[in-house]
Amino acid sequence: MDTSAIFPCWAFIIMCLITVDFTSSETIAEELVTVSETDTLASSDSESSSCGCDSLKRDGVVSIDRETSLLSDQAAVKYSKKANDGMEVSQGYNQDLYIPDKMVLIPAGEFLMGTDNPEIPQDGEGPQRRVHLEQFYMDIHEVSNQEFQKFVNATSYVTEAEKFGDSFVFEGLLSEAVKKQISQAVAAAPWWLPVKGADWRHPEGPDSTITDRLDHPVLHVSWSDADAYCTWAGKRLPTEAEWEYACRGGLDNRLFPWGNKLHPKGQHYANLWQGEFPSQNTGEDGYTQTSPVMSFPANGYGLYNMVGNAWEWTSDWWIVHHTSDELHNPKGPETGTDRVKKGGSYMCHKSYCYRYRCAARSQNTPDSSASNLGFRCVSKNER
Ligand SMILES: *[C@@H]1O[C@H](CO)[C@@H](O)[C@H](O)[C@H]1NC(C)=O
Ligand SMILES: [Ca+2]
Ligand SMILES: [Ca+2]
């Protein structure tokens, strides 16, 4: 059986031609990614729509030469927690604001899903179609580390990242000690490294912890982990339509949950990336990594961080061709290989991953996990 596949990417012309044979680890070892720093930085300057986020498949990693890897040690220091200590205060975030397990009613209604002016057409952002939804309740924020910890305490649940023994972490977040041990990367997005021992309790690998960020979104949870959590909580994952309707916060035809301007009155409304991706994150919005789940203003329905902070899994299988027919409570295709995720993350920048829009979307295989991917749940009744 021929299981070779070509990585989807649009800007990395050099890397687009890398074919990985999933059946042979020797072949993978031969597909050395030899991208010079200059090449990579040049391509990040160009208009690009791929953050490589959809390439996070455990069997899709290739060997890399650490000597020629794209990010210098210097860049890693810039991202390090130590270097950014003291930055996470500028939003006036109030610790007391954090409320676990709270949901809000999203009223029944109709809305225009998707867009006829897609920024990233290959993601299937269009066509715009009228969708009717019944009312539902939604978590006001991404599921936090504390909430997930409660679930694991109660059930002894083991996540897929823990079973596989690794998960994807953005290179800029890793310590030197962890980076030294890694010899593989994602061909289409070499700043993603599979890190042994990275999981929800250790977001940047074995030498990291969540004790100082229990009110941040849980990360390194696969679709199956997210589904298990929601089921345990008496909830479920939102459909893509529910998520997008909720994201729009009652506004028609706007880019973001709060309107069309990214920085109304000069304020940051979401945890995104400022600076040059992937080499420099200025943290102008107060955060170079995740932020607490109730930081930044809520949208019209009272939902926090729908765009930015952590990507959020939905229950839909991924397809890019949609009917323009009017739909009632659509649940996506019956089957598929990838699940839809929405909202973008703290790693998204307009030049690179303009996916912090309500109509934007991306996908991962259901067993994928990464340092920028989380979720929230919905339910028919308030919990
Ligand atoms: C989970 O259990 C640990 C160990 O007993 C405890 O310290 C922690 O507070 C518990 N977490 C939650 C959210 O209940
Ligand atoms: Ca940020
Ligand atoms: Ca989010």
Exposed / middle / buried, residue 367 (Cβ in 10 Å: 0-12, 13-18, 19+): middle
Q: Which two tokens stand for residue 360?
A: 């934007």
Phi then psi for residue 313, to 5 deg, are: -65, 145
Mean pLDDT, rounded, for 165-187: 92
152 C-alpha to center of ligand 1: Å?
9
Q: pLDDT-based confidence at 65, cuts 50/70/90?
A: low
Cα dihedral across residues 217, 218, 223, 229: positive or negative: negative
Q: Which two tokens stand for residue 319?
A: 């397809």
pLDDT in tens, 337-364: 999 999 999 999 999 899 999 999 999 9
Candidate from 153, 157, 214 with most ligand 1 atoms within 8 A of CB, to mutate: 153
CA distance 185 to 120: 25
pLDDT in tens, 118-143: 999 999 999 999 999 999 999 999 99
Beta bridge partners of 105: 137
Output the pLDDT for position 72.
Answer: 32
Q: Which atom of ligand 1 is nearest to the CA of 153?
A: 1
Q: Which amino acid is residue 9, in one-letter code?
A: C
Q: Is 149 in the pocket of ligand 1 (CB under 6 A)?
A: yes
151 C-alpha to center of ligand 1: Å?
10
Single out the residue of 18, 35, 107, 33 nearest to residue 63, CA to CA: 33
Q: pLDDT-based confidence at 51, cuts 50/70/90?
A: low
CA distance 294 to 99: 8
User: pTM to 2 decimals?
Assistant: 0.81
Q: What share of the chain is helix, strand, coil (3-state, %, to 5)?
A: 25, 20, 55
Residue 199: count other Cβ atoms within 10 Å of its Cβ: 24
Helix (H, G, I), strand (E, B) or coil at 267: coil
367 C-alpha to center of ligand 2: Å?
26
Q: Which ligand is nearest to the CA of 238?
A: 3
Helices marked H in the chain:
13-16, 25-30, 37-45, 73-79, 81-84, 145-155, 160-164, 176-180, 223-232, 240-248
Residue nearest to atom 1 of ligand 1 (CA): 153
Q: Which residues surround ligand 2, an ion (CB under 5 A)?
A: 271, 285, 287, 346
Say if residue 278 is preceded by a cis peptide, omega within 30 of 0: yes
pLDDT in tens, 319-339: 999 999 999 999 999 999 999
Distances in whole angstroms, Cα of residue 30 to Cα of each of 26, 55, 242: 6, 19, 44
Output the pLDDT for position 94.
Answer: 57
Q: Which two tokens stand for residue 246?
A: 């909720």
Q: Is 150 in the pocket of ligand 1 (CB under 6 A)?
A: yes
Torsion of Cα atoms, 152 then 377 then 8 then 350, to 10°: -110
Output the pLDDT for position 14.
Answer: 32
